[in-house]
Every structure is written in C-alpha cells, then in structure tokens.
Structure 1
C-alpha cells in the first residue's frame, strides 16, 4: 500500500509539469503575431558580423633583435690617432713580459672590422705589426710620441697658480661634486679613458678613487693617468687623485677612443712560483716554504683596500727578518698573485709560495741592509702629490734628500764603530 501511494504522487507531479510546459509554449507562440522589423542601421541578426566590414589588418611587428657586437652592417672601422697601444689595462699589464700562449683566438674586443688596428691577442699596436722594416716602426713611434707631447703641453697651458689649484681641488671634494671615476682591481682600463673625457665635458677636474691591487704602485698609476689622458694631477691624498684637463681643453676636439665591447681573456704567462728556488736545493726550498707559512703575518690585506704602504713595510721587515709573510684571506687568487708580482719587482724579493691564500717572500742571499735602507728612504721621495705649489715641492725634495744623506752617513759611521774592537 505504501509503494502504491508514492507512485500515484509521482504521476500527479509529472502530469502537472507537462501542463505547465504546454501552457508556456502556447504563450510564447503569441510573440510571432507582432510584426517587428529592425531598422536599416541595425543588422537583422545582431550576433552575426556584417559581411561588408573589412577586418583591419596591421603589419606584424618585427621580432626584437638584440644589438650584436658581431653585426657589421653599415659600420666603418674607427680610426684613432692616439700614439699608444690599446690594452685592456695600462697599469696591470707589462708590455716587457711576453706571454707563452693565448687562451682564445685573436678575436678583437672592439668587434670584428670595427677598428683599423690589428689585435695581437694582448693589445692593438699603434704601429702596424706587419711592417717588415723596423726603422719605419721606430721612426713612426717617435714622431707620434713627440707630436702627442707637444699637443699635451699646448692643452695644459701655463702652470696653475697656488690659488687656482686650491680652488679646483676644493671643487673636486666629495661634498662638492659626485664626478668620480673608480679605479679598481683591473687598474686603468681602456674604457676608463672615455669616462674621464666624458666628465671633462662639464668640469675642469675629475676625482679618481683608487683601491685594490693597483695602489701597491701608485707612482705607476699616476704616470699612466697623465700619459694616457693628457691631463695633469694637481692633488693626491692616498688613493684619491684629482686630474686636471688643462686650460685649453676643447671637448669637441677630444681624441677618438673606441670602446672595448668585452674583456679579453688573460694570456698564458710563465709560472710565478718555481719548483726549486734559484740557489737552493729541493729540501731547502720545502723547508723555507714551511717556515714562511709559520712566521707571524706582517699585515692582513683587506679586500679592495689601499695598499700604498705595503712595499715600504716589506722593506722595513727585511732589515730584521729573512722571510716576510702577508695574510691575503678573502682576496681573489688573481689579486694576490698580482700583488706578489709587484712586490717582486718593487722591493725586490723572491716569491716563495702563494699557498693557503698567503704571500711569502724571501729577501734573497745577496741582501744588503745599507742599500735597502737607502732605497727605502728614496721611495718616500715619490710621495710629492700633496704639494700645493712648486716651491713646496722643491722644499720637500730638498728636505728628503738631506735626510737620506744624513741617515746614510750615520749608518756607515755606526757600522764602522761596530767593527772596531773594544
């Protein structure tokens, strides 16, 4: 009985639904009795697009093409009249040291066909290296150097007076201007010359901040800056240099400096550390390396620091010690290798090891304390960048020379007294 009542209820619901749908269809059919005609401005079927309207077709946007250094279309090779060889770095590369090999083919870092000089894998010489006659090359180099010297003297003009120099140095201070070129671990690079001339468009001086490996030999940095830019250094405080462009500098007639598009690979040079040090046996060399690493460190070099006093410190240490140990933890391996090369040439000394991020140097067998003291005093003669006038410079040089002579005579007298019997 229960199931019969449920089936009857379902049948009644189904019949009522059919009656509702039939009534809805009959009411919708009355919409056709009204004759609606759309206006001519509207399409008969609003969902369909008109056949007369033409689709707007835009020219496809060309795909993005990044600027390539290998694209040579429409570009002529640049010609520069600068009388020196183009190198990546002028302070950290020594032209007298010949590489024994190259790490890559001789691809020009200026781009193929963009420079009228030949890239030798190390530099782009100012004189064509394919010329067979040596006399022609030497004559061309001397003529270009003499012409550049006369042009530099003409642009610099008369020497600055004391008041003019003080005004220019004051304008170049950090609180006065932000015009600064940073000289880092690579030294004076080729593209840095272009940056200096760009600053000289708007100001007479530019401040150069020197940090890292090049500061071991600040004399070389100053010489290369004046030689390659044509300017004059009017002030130096430690690693901060103020470079003056000259009285008659014309930015519109600045030299053409082609930019290097990438950094060339370092060539392969001979090994710095020999297996056996000259004049010693294998056992003595091993023993010296062990003793050098056990010696207390003379100093610890900070990363990207100022190392202007390092040569003097090593020379002073050699007066009492045979081996000098310098801690270089945190520095790049290439950095402390370059520092070791500079110490070898400037002190001079013998490189013992670079193990465990340390530099160990030996003063050598033929060491003379008197010669070392005299050369150490003469090094201080190069520190004349803080003089404000020519009179101050002459006075400082005369004072230092007199001090050197007096110290040398006193040391000789003391050495003679030590030899006399009591």
Structure 2
C-alpha cells in the first residue's frame, strides 16, 4: 500500500506544473515537510483521561424546628373573591365545585374554605380594628395636601392605577393596592361596569378592607389614600387566590309568575315592557352611575320600564337586574334578548290606599 505522505507530495508537484495556478506558485515557497493540509487527520490521543467525579448537589438545609406552616393572616374580615358584588346574607342553594377545593391552594392559609368565603378563625374586636385604622391614617389631611395629591394622581396617565371591573373589590386587588402604596401615597382606581351602579358600596369596601381613605371621587374615578403613618414593612399579610372560584348556584331571579301578580297579569306586564321605549341604553363595561336615578324617575310615571342592554352580555344583565332590585327598589320580571324589564311593584298603590284610609 502506498505511503500517504508520498501521495500528497506527488499531488502538490502536479498542481505546481499547471500554468496559471496561483495555488501552486504559493506552495513552491513552502517546503514539503512544513506543509500540512487542513484536511489531514489529527493524531488521536489515546492516553486515558482521569474521570471527573460528579459533584452531588447537596439538598438545601432545612431546620427541623421551622417546618412550612400555613399563613396566619390577622385581617378582621372573612376572605371572599368579591367583597362588593356578593351578599353574605343570601345563602347559595348549591355549588359548582366541591367546597373542599380552596382557591388559596391546599394548606396555604389557616382558614377553611366554605365554598363562598374563608371565615376568620377568631372574632376580631371591631373597636380595636377601627383604632388601628385611625392610627395608620393619622390626622386628617388639609385642603392643600388633598389638592396636591389629587393633582398628582387623578390624571389618566398616572402609573399608579388599578382598574376595577365587574368583579368589584376583589381579594387580590387588596394586594395590588398595598403594592402601589409601597412607593406612592395614593392609588388611582378606575371603576367600570356593574359596580358603578353603586359607587357608595365600592368606596365603603375599599376603605373597610384596605384600611385607606377615599380622598377624591369624580363619577367613576377614585383616589385611595394610604395614611400618614403607613409602613410598607408592616403591611398586612394578604394570601393570594390562585384561581377564581366558580360562582355558587343561587335561587332563581325571575319566576314564571311574579309574586303579587297572576299568570295573565305577568304576561301582560312583560309584553307591555318589551313594547315600551327604553329608559336608557347601556354599553359593555360602561359607567352606570346615573341608571338608578333614571329608573326611579321613570317609575314616577310608568309602571313598567325597559333597559336596552345590547352587547352587554347575559351575565351582566342579570347582575344589573339584581342591583337595581335592591337599589331602586323594583321587581325584575324578564330578561330577554339583552333587554331588562322592571316592574315597580305594588308598593305605591298600597301606600296610597293606606294614606287615604
């Protein structure tokens, strides 16, 4: 078998004899012994390499006297998904998921999930909680201080803003508020959708659950002040909900025959409402601060009124009907094609007859 180095030398001499071969002219200046083409195989090093010992990762040290325990929040209220949009006095008739599935996760808090809330283990003294809140708020703000905070945080380009949607004042929103209060004295809250029907309720729960104070209110824009003596290092422990719990099943809102009416009267009221002009037209995620007053004014002359809720959504229509039932008050008698039909009830007739008697 021919020797490989000798074959390389013959190939180089053949290339050098060809006219116009620049590669050959370049190789003439190099000795055959010094030239090593790039495709020549490198000698293999067969000396045994010492095996590197794999370092075993040591598990993190865990002190035996400090096991992982569930959080023990001392907030003086029951934990719910929504505080402003749920009524604790109305008991559900069923659940869409077993109550044992806590949205806080297994073993993360020392409270038991009942399907709608996680009640506090011990009753908290309301006077003590109110005294602690007053201590954090400190002395009332002067008009100059309020004007300065309002000018700083009321604008739409404020980066300290929280959007409040149809869920209302939710549990995880409390943690967002305290996160903003780390670097800002106040937080801007923009309210949209169903909660704007009752802004007083929204303001109450924001102050009651966060411990702050609403210092500015303009239609659906709120400014929530943290207090003079607020300390971010000693903020309350707020365990987060890992997912939104399924809404429980409540009694039927609209019955086939409205209480106080016969079947024929109920049918006639519904047809009259569908053919009557709409009191107002609601949009999706709109601002409904004037709807309650409009319905009250309409009931002074009409027995049945209609609200046009096109593109609002069926679920939001029912939430609006429930709030109007309690705020106006009135009786929802029909939800059809995103139209809400409301009956003022027989209270006016009964009160008039009693006054003449």
Match of 1:257 in 2: 238
Match of 2:109 in 1: 115
Matched, 1:91 2:73: no
Match of 1:157 in 2: 138
2:47 to 38, 47, 52: 52
| TM-score computed with the length of structure 2 as normaliser | 0.81
Structure label with greater radius of gyration: 1
Q: Return the alpha-carbon distance in structure 1 between the equivalents of residues 119 and 351 of structure 2.
A: 42
Q: Return the alpha-carbon distance in structure 1 between the equivalents of residues 310 and 48 of structure 2.
A: 76
Q: Return the alpha-carbon distance in structure 2 between the equivalents of residues 28 and 126 of structure 1.
A: 92
Match of 2:70 in 1: 77
Pick closer, same or farther for the CA change 1:58–1:353 going to 2, 3 Å: farther
2:182 to 162, 182, 201: 201
Query: Structure 1 unaligned runs (5+)?
Result: 1-26, 32-36, 40-44, 60-73, 128-139, 372-414, 417-422
Q: Secondary structure at the match of 1:209?
A: strand
Q: Return the alpha-carbon distance in structure 1 between the equivalents of residues 48 and 303 of structure 2.
A: 96
Q: Return the alpha-carbon distance in structure 1 between the equivalents of residues 316 and 49 of structure 2.
A: 69
Q: Secondary structure at the match of 1:367?
A: helix
Pick closer, same or farther for the CA change 1:48–1:337 going to 2, 3 Å: farther
Q: How far 1:331 sits from its partner (Å)?
A: 1.2
2:118 to 121, 124, 145: 124
Tell me which protein shows more helix as a share of its residues.
Answer: 1
Match of 1:330 in 2: 311
Q: Return the alpha-carbon distance in structure 2 between the equivalents of residues 123 and 195 of structure 1.
A: 20
Q: How far 1:52 sits from its partner (Å)?
A: 2.8
1:319–1:369 contact (8 Å) kept in structure 2: no
Q: How far 1:171 sits from its partner (Å)?
A: 1.1
Moved over 4 A (4+): 27-31, 53-59, 368-371
2:76–2:124 contact (8 Å) kept in structure 1: no
Q: How far 1:157 sits from its partner (Å)?
A: 1.0
Query: Structure 2 unaligned runs (5+)?
Result: 1-5, 11-31, 35-39, 55-66
1:178 to 155, 159, 164: 159
Q: Return the alpha-carbon distance in structure 1 between the equivalents of residues 189 and 9 of structure 2.
A: 93
CA RMSD of aligned residues (A): 3.1
Q: How far 1:147 sits from its partner (Å)?
A: 1.6
Q: Secondary structure at the match of 1:298?
A: strand
Q: How far 1:326 sits from its partner (Å)?
A: 0.2
| TM-score computed with the length of structure 1 as normaliser | 0.69
Pick closer, same or farther for the CA change 1:312–1:30 going to 2, 3 Å: closer
Q: How far 1:49 sits from its partner (Å)?
A: 4.3
